[in-house]
């Protein structure tokens, strides 16, 4: 039980550090009026998860430890639903209804589409 816990923890550290870097970059480039950083990490995370899922589903003998590291660890640490939910509520509290609807719809719909696209790319190879 300790080994999988350490693997997920290491992956979460990597994913969390990558999330911080990308979020900071997006804030510097796009400004702070819209949560572009969280949107970017969640959409990119969905796409990457789809790729990893497809790779491992193609090869049933693949290393489960690596799958755990990349999905639960890196992708789980990289994406952040709690920040997404908080930013959505803040938009509502500030009366930004159109921003709220756009952010939630884009996050959910594009997230599913990008995960599927990442999966499809690998399956098509």
Q: Give me the domain span that covers residue 42.
A: 2-124
74 and 15 Cβ atoms separated by less than 8 Å: yes
Q: How many domains does the chain have?
A: 1
pLDDT in tens, 20-58: 999 999 999 999 999 999 999 999 999 999 999 999 888
Which residues contact residue 101 at a Cβ distance below 8 angstroms, ignoring those fewer than 6 apart?
none
- Rounded Cα distance, 41 and 58, in Å: 25
What is residue 83's predicted lDDT score, i.e. its pLDDT? 85
CB atoms within 10 A of CB 30: 14
Q: Percent of the chain having pLDDT more than 90?
A: 84
- Rounded Cα distance, 120 and 123, in Å: 5
- Overall average pLDDT of the 100-112 stretch: 97
Read off the pTM.
Answer: 0.84
Does the pLDDT of residue 62 top 80, yes or no?
A: no
């Amino acid at each position: 039980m300790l080994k999988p816990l350490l693997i997920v923890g290491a992956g979460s550290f990597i994913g969390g550090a990558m999330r911080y870097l990308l979020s900071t970059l997006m804030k510097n480039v796009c400004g702070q009026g819209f949560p572009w950083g969280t949107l970017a990490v969640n959409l990119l995370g969905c796409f990457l998860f789809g790729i990893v899922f497809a790779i491992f589903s193609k090869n049933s003998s693949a290393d489960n430890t690596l799958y755990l590291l990349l999905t639960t660890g890196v992708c789980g640490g990289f994406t952040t639903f709690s920040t997404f939910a908080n930013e959505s509520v803040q938009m509502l509290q500030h009366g930004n209804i159109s921003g709220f609807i756009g952010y939630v719809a884009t996050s959910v719909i594009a997230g599913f589409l990008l995960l599927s696209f990442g999966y499809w790319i690998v399956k098509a190879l």
